[in-house]
Structure 1
Amino acid sequence: MLLKSEIDLLRAVPLFAGIEPSRLKLIAYTAETVMYREGQVVCRQGERGDAAFVLMEGEADVSIASDGGDFVVAHLKTGDVVGEIAILCDVPRTATVTAKTRLSALRVRKDAFLQLLRQFPEVAAEVMRGLAERLSHTNAELVRARNLAAGQGGPR
């Protein structure tokens, strides 16, 4: 993919919407475009997190391993960011991300991602907003699962 098209794609990603084009060029230049085929693992739960991924085209599933098998907890689409938790918290990957379709992603190395957050408070705020939304969704799913397990069902 050409650098200009990567910049255009980055500009369309909410996370990077407020960043001036010259800075987007730097992000695109320091990042790596990676391609995945349907069913291919982007990152695996438990692995060391050395990069975050911005989905440029395609879809992916986020799953967590459990005693009953893998449990899909989220569906990602173009513009979504994944892998930032392992970077921000310096913990192993908290989930496995698998390409649901042919997938193109921008792989942003840990040091570049952290530098991006330091330089652009608006990006840091957008990352926090995304994490908060995910936490809220996860909490709602846990309540729903607990109600189902207790035989209470969900809201009707």
Structure 2
Amino acid sequence: MNLNEEVELLKGVPIFSKVEQARLKLLAFTSERVNFGVGQEVCHQGDPGDTMYVILGGTADVLIDTPNGQITVAEMKRNSFFGEIAILCDVPRTATIKAKEPLATLKITKDMFYRLVAEFPEMAIEIMRELAHRLEDTNQKLRAATRAA
């Protein structure tokens, strides 16, 4: 995949949709393209995190450690992003991300992430929206589990 194709893919990611093309080109150029095979971990719950990832292709499972073993709590696909919580909160990874099928990602460093958020406040709003959606989804699942218990 060439730089222009990566820029086109990044335009489809909601958090980058309002970022100008020249900045997306810089992001694509300065970020690392990383591919993962089926079953390969992208990151592991509890590990330190200083990068976020954007899925360019494929799907991944979001796994949480429990006393009874890992459980899948979500699936992420093209245009999804993850790892932002470790960057924003300076906390260890909150989940394990494992490739469900061949996975193509763009790895974005903490410094680049903060530069983009500083230059494009719209990006921060989109990240907050996504985090709010994830929180509401988690709350719904928790309410359902509590009713079932």
Q: TM-score range by the shorter chain?
A: over 0.9
Equivalence for 2:76: 76
Report the 3-state secondary structure (helix = DSSP H, G, I; strand = E; otherwise coil) of the residue aligned with 1:48: coil
CA distance in 2, matches of 1:141, 1:118: 33
Task: Give the TM-score taking structure 1 as reference length.
Answer: 0.93
Equivalence for 1:109: 109
- Matched letter for residue 29 of structure 2: Y
Matching of residues 55-66 of structure 1 within 5 Å: 55-66=55-66
CA distance in 2, matches of 1:129, 1:74: 17
Equivalence for 1:94: 94
Runs of 4+ in 1 over 6 A off after TM superposition: none
- Matched letter for residue 122 of structure 1: E
- Matched letter for residue 113 of structure 2: F
- Number of equivalent positions: 149
Q: Are 2:22 and 1:22 aligned?
A: yes
- Matched letter for residue 85 of structure 1: I
Equivalence for 1:152: none
Q: Are 2:3 and 1:3 aligned?
A: yes
Equivalence for 1:148: 148
Structure 1 residue runs of 5 or longer lacking an equivalent are 150-156
CA-based RMSD: 0.8
Identity value in percent: 49
Q: What is the Cα deviation at residue 34 of structure 1?
A: 0.3
Equivalence for 1:153: none
CA-to-aligned-CA distance 1:38-71 (integer Å, 9 cap, x gap): 1100010000011000000010010110001111
CA distance in 2, matches of 1:44, 1:116: 25
Equivalence for 1:46: 46
Equivalence for 2:125: 125
Task: Give the TM-score taking structure 2 as reference length.
Answer: 0.97
Structure 2 residue runs of 5 or longer lacking an equivalent are none
CA distance in 2, matches of 1:111, 1:93: 17
CA-to-aligned-CA distance 1:124-146 (integer Å, 9 cap, x gap): 11011000000000011111111
User: Could you tell which deviates more after superposition, 8-17 or 83-92?
Assistant: 8-17
CA distance in 2, matches of 1:14, 1:98: 22
CA distance in 2, matches of 1:85, 1:19: 21
